[in-house]
């Protein structure tokens, strides 16, 4: 195949000689090649374009186009090849695939949906949608994603379900984050928004109309099964799921608590809204400050009708009553007003508690349905408290003597509890004796002896000193070797029948501590 330069030389030589054979001799090629390129130039075809040749699929091309049109461009090449073989086609399956691909490409060009750029107006449109969130403790979560059309400001709020109260609470928080509400809110045709379609016209949910009336917005729905009609929020959902849901592509670890997911959503919003948008070439957070004056104000109180029944948390215990059952709420809500509702049926029925604060309605607790007399309690709602068990007394000194005794250690505390349980007599005297012994034998040794006495139930007078003597390390030790033995000798038998001496014997090096000596020393 000749290059473009060679073809130009052939044409220039032909223009010079006007003869096919003379041109062939000058350029070193066949006169048939010269005739082909000259004919192509005279026909107006581009230089070096291959000549069109008949293909084996050309006789069946009308039938292929018919099949592609009937199947809306979805027919498979292998099925089309089987049909062509039945019609007498003798070509290969590769030729069939090439012909099907070319016809499909032409069909798509004729049926492509043309999108006109949407020129938005500040303060007019807010779109919201949902995405599957990560699992926390085996429970699936939902990502509520809102997209303000003009400024491209994105909001992501994690939810535990997609019920109407949860969606209304998320929208209220969304309006408060934006600093106002737009004119229109666009979403899907869910049951919480659209109950049915009559002749293609959506019938609105009454709760949604009450919510929209409260905030002064108009709720609209897109065309059914047409995500392109709200493509802005669809792209925002895709971006949020790619970043927040743990996957191999983002190396994000699983969330242990719902609070961690909320913090991750906050960090995600700060990141995407402070980054330059590829369309506007401006930061969405900066554009939001320009759009806020076009948003209308929202009521200070949220639309709480769908949140359930109002309850006031007592000032001394964070518990509320709903349908004869008691349920705990966080301790910081003492004296506050909350809303309680039931969600679901059967064994999985849940009680949801919502509190409306400065940032809007927030779910503060979720419990399983409980029966009367068995309150549903979450330990996190009672910080700094512990379950009181009968008999588990808190040892606290009330006098100086008691404080001095308890300062000996944990053994003294255990001795006090066990001695009191057994009804030991004159405990104050025995506690003072222990304090005195600690000054002689050391605090650690007396504390160990008190623990041993408590363990074996020895609370009589003199027991502590006896235990202390038994555990005191002696100054002399006796050991057997090749010259001496530990066997008792017979030298002591010589004293049998002899009168006892009157002089006082000198005590040995082993000192014995008794209650009498300690009392004398104390005096």
Residue 43 lies in a domain: yes
Q: Are 474 and 505 in contact (CB under 8 A)?
A: no
- What long-range pairs does 110-118 form, CB within 8 A, spacing at least 24? 111/72, 111/73, 113/228, 115/228, 118/149
Half-sphere exposure of 208 (CA within 13 A, CB side): 22
- The distance of Cα 51 from the centroid of its chain, to the nearest Å, equals 63
> How many structural domains are present in the chain?
4
Residue 484 lies in a domain: no
Element (H or E) spanning 108, and its range? helix 93-111
In a domain, 25, yes or no: yes
Boundary residue ending a domain (65, 80, 111): 111
Same structural domain for residues 152 and 284?
yes
For residues 184 and 75, membership in a common domain is answered with no
334, HSE (Cβ side, Cα atoms, 13 Å): 9
Give domain status of residue 477, yes or no: no
d(CA 288, CA 360): 20
Residue ending a domain, among 456, 471, 486, is 471
Pair (136, 285) in one structural domain: yes
Q: Is residue 345 part of a domain?
A: yes
Q: What share of the chain is helix, strand, coil (3-state, %, to 5)?
A: 45, 15, 40
103 & 134 share domain = no
Q: For residue 477, give Cα distances in angstroms to 417, 472, 486, 505, 509.
A: 37, 13, 11, 21, 11
Strand partners, 322: 325
Q: Are residues 376 and 409 in the same domain?
A: no
Q: Do 276 and 135 reside in the same domain of the chain?
A: yes
Q: Give the pLDDT score at 517.
A: 46
CATH code at position 131: 3.30.420.10
133, 132, 196, 193: which is closest to 163 by C-alpha?
193
Per the listing, tokens 């073809």 go with 7
276 and 406 together in one domain? no
pLDDT at 84: 93
pLDDT tens series, the chain, 523 aa: 788 888 899 999 999 999 999 999 999 999 999 998 898 888 887 776 666 678 899 999 999 999 999 999 999 999 999 999 999 999 999 999 999 999 999 998 888 877 778 888 999 999 999 999 999 988 899 999 999 999 999 999 999 888 888 899 899 999 999 999 999 999 988 888 998 989 888 899 898 999 999 999 999 998 877 777 788 899 999 999 999 999 888 888 999 988 899 999 999 999 999 999 999 999 999 999 999 999 999 998 888 877 888 899 999 899 999 989 999 999 999 999 999 998 876 778 889 999 988 878 888 999 999 999 899 999 889 887 766 666 667 788 889 988 999 899 998 889 988 888 888 888 898 899 999 988 888 899 889 999 898 888 888 888 888 888 887 655 455 666 777 766 666 666 666 766 655 554 444 444 445 445 444 444 4
Is residue 390 included in any domain, yes or no? Answer: no
On whether both 176 and 35 belong to a single domain, the answer is no
Domain range enclosing 31: 4-111
Q: What is the 3-state secondary structure (H, E, C) of 60-93?
A: HHHHHHHHHHHCCCCCCHHHHHHHHHHCCCCCCH
| 371 in Cβ contact with 325 (< 8 Å) | yes
Quote the pTM value.
0.59
User: Is 136 found in the same domain as 37?
Assistant: no
Q: Is residue 512 part of a domain?
A: no
Q: CA separation (Å) from 193 to 85, 142, 188, 203, 211?
A: 53, 17, 8, 8, 10
- Residue 426 domain-assigned (yes or no): yes
Statement to judge: residues 217 and 131 lie in one domain = yes
Residue 154: φ, ψ to 5°? -115, 140
Shared-domain flag, residues 210 and 330: no
On whether both 187 and 326 belong to a single domain, the answer is no
């Amino acid at each position: 195949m000749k290059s473009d330069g060679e073809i130009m030389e052939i044409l220039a030589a032909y223009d010079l000689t006007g003869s096919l054979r003379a041109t062939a001799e000058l350029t070193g090629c066949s006169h048939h090649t010269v005739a082909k390129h000259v004919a192509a130039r005279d026909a107006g075809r581009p230089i070096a374009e291959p000549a069109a040749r008949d293909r084996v699929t050309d006789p069946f091309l009308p039938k292929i186009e018919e099949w592609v049109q009937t199947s809306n461009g979805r027919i498979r090449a292998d099925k089309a090849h089987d049909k062509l073989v039945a019609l007498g086609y003798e070509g290969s399956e590769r030729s069939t695939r090439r012909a099907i691909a070319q016809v499909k490409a032409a069909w798509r060009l004729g049926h492509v949906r043309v999108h006109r750029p949407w020129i938005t107006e500040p303060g007019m449109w807010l779109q919201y949608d949902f995405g599957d969130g990560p699992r926390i403790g085996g429970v699936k979560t939902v990502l509520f994603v809102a997209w303000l059309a003009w400024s491209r400001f994105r909001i992501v709020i994690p939810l535990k379900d997609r019920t109407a109260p949860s969606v209304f609470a998320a929208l209220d928080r969304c309006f408060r984050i934006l600093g106002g509400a737009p004119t229109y809110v666009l979403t899907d045709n869910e049951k919480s928004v659209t109950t049915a379609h009559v002749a293609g016209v959506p019938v609105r949910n009454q709760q949604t109309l009450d919510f929209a009336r409260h905030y002064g917005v108009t709720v609209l729905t897109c065309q059914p099964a047409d995500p392109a009609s709200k493509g802005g929020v669809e792209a925002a959902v895709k971006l949020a799921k790619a970043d927040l849901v743990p996957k191999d592509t983002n190396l994000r670890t699983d969330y242990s608590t719902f609070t961690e997911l909320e913090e991750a959503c906050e960090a995600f919003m700060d990141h995407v809204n402070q980054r330059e948008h590829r369309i506007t070439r401006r930061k969405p957070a900066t554009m939001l400050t320009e759009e806020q004056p076009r948003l209308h104000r929202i009521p200070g109180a949220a639309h709480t009708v769908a949140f359930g029944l109002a309850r006031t948390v007592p000032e001394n215990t964070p518990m509320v009553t709903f349908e004869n059952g008691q349920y705990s709420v966080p301790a910081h809500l003492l004296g506050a007003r909350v809303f309680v509702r039931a969600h679901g049926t059967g064994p999985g029925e849940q009680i949801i508690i919502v509190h409306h604060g400065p940032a809007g309605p927030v779910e503060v607790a979720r419990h399983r349905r409980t029966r009367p007399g068995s309150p549903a309690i979450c330990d996190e709602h009672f910080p700094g408290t512990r379950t009181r068990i009968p008999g588990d007394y808190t040892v606290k000194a009330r006098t100086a003597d008691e404080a001095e005794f308890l300062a000996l250690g944990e053994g003294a505390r255990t001795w006090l509890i066990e001695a009191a349980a057994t009804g030991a007599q004159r405990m104050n005297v025995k506690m003072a004796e222990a304090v005195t012994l600690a000054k002689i034998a050391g605090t650690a040794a007396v504390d160990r002896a008190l623990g041993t006495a408590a363990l074996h139930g020895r609370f009589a007078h003199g027991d502590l000193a006896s235990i202390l003597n038994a555990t005191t390390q002696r100054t002399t030790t006796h050991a057997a070797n090749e010259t001496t033995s530990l066997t008792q000798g017979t030298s002591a038998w010589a004293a049998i029948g002899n009168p006892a001496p009157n002089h006082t014997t000198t005590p040995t090096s082993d000192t014995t501590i008794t209650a009498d000596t300690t009392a004398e020393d104390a005096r």
